[in-house]
Amino acid sequence: GAGVSQSPRYKVAKRGQDVALRCDPISGHVSLFWYQQALGQGPEFLTYFQNEAQLDKSGLPSDRFFAERPEGSVSTLKIQRTQQEDSAVYLCASSRRGGAYEQYFGPGTRLTVT
Amino acid sequence: AQKVTQAQTEISVVEKEDVTLDCVYETRDTTYYLFWYKQPPSGELVFLIRRNSFDEQNEISGRYSWNFQKSTSSFNFTITASQVVDSAVYFCALSEAHASKIIFGSGTRLSIRP
């Protein structure tokens, strides 16, 4: 596709459920990023992949959060035992190179934990 | 530590007015990159510009212009002859050369009234 796509666009989970959020980056983009955006705030970095290697996961808020990109393309962000504070928009971005290059964002997945 | 401050939470102007969005950043690195992104009501972040720390030349793109002042650690964004379609949340952001993640400010919500 032409841009970054994410699915689902909206997810409602009951507290304690596990969720999986998917990101399809722009074809050929080496780098993939996950960000969390709370209401009224700027995106906050969660984790970064270069190809299939997870090079930085310093932003993951707890060990309930896990991300993978096994074949260096599609990525999945998994949240286990969701809590209300996990409610946010989860944004995926891709970049054609590693390093501080422009990142192109997907539409996000809005997660609501009830 | 790196930080981006957007002191203006909300700005409202009448169409055709010029408007400047302020951005102040903090970093210990001598090599870094600055960005502006636009987030319209649809929610998808749109890349506007990327500048590196060695290039202080101002940039103009149509009605948009950016003023990078290293001496004051500022990277301000001006929209000339604003239009209703410019209404969005605008984020200033920073990335240090050794890291790929982007640190975002809290955003400025810009409303253009007809």
Q: What is the pLDDT of residues A6-60, one digit of tens each?
A: 999 999 999 999 999 999 999 999 999 999 999 999 999 999 999 999 999 999 9
Q: How many domains does chain A have?
A: 1
Is the Cβ of B107 closer than 8 Å to some Cβ of chain A? yes
Is the Cβ of B9 closer than 8 Å to some Cβ of chain A? no
The answer to whether the Cβ–Cβ distance between B32 and A91 falls below 8 Å is no
Averages of pLDDT over each 10 residues, chain B, 114 residues: 94 97 95 95 92 89 95 96 97 88 96 96
The answer to whether the Cβ–Cβ distance between B43 and A99 falls below 8 Å is no
Domain limits for position A17: 5-113
Q: How far is A45 from chain B (nearest CA, A)?
A: 7
Instruction: State which residue of chain B sits closest to A46, comparing Cα positions.
Output: B101
CATH number, position A11: 2.60.40.10
Q: From CA B15, how far away is CA B112, in angstroms rounded?
A: 6
Q: From CA A114, how far away is CA A6, in angstroms rounded?
A: 22
Considering the domain B3-113 in this protein, what is its CATH number?
A: 2.60.40.10
A100 contacts on B by Cβ (under 8 Å): 32-33, 50, 95-97, 99-100, 102
The ranges assigned to domains in chain B are 3-113
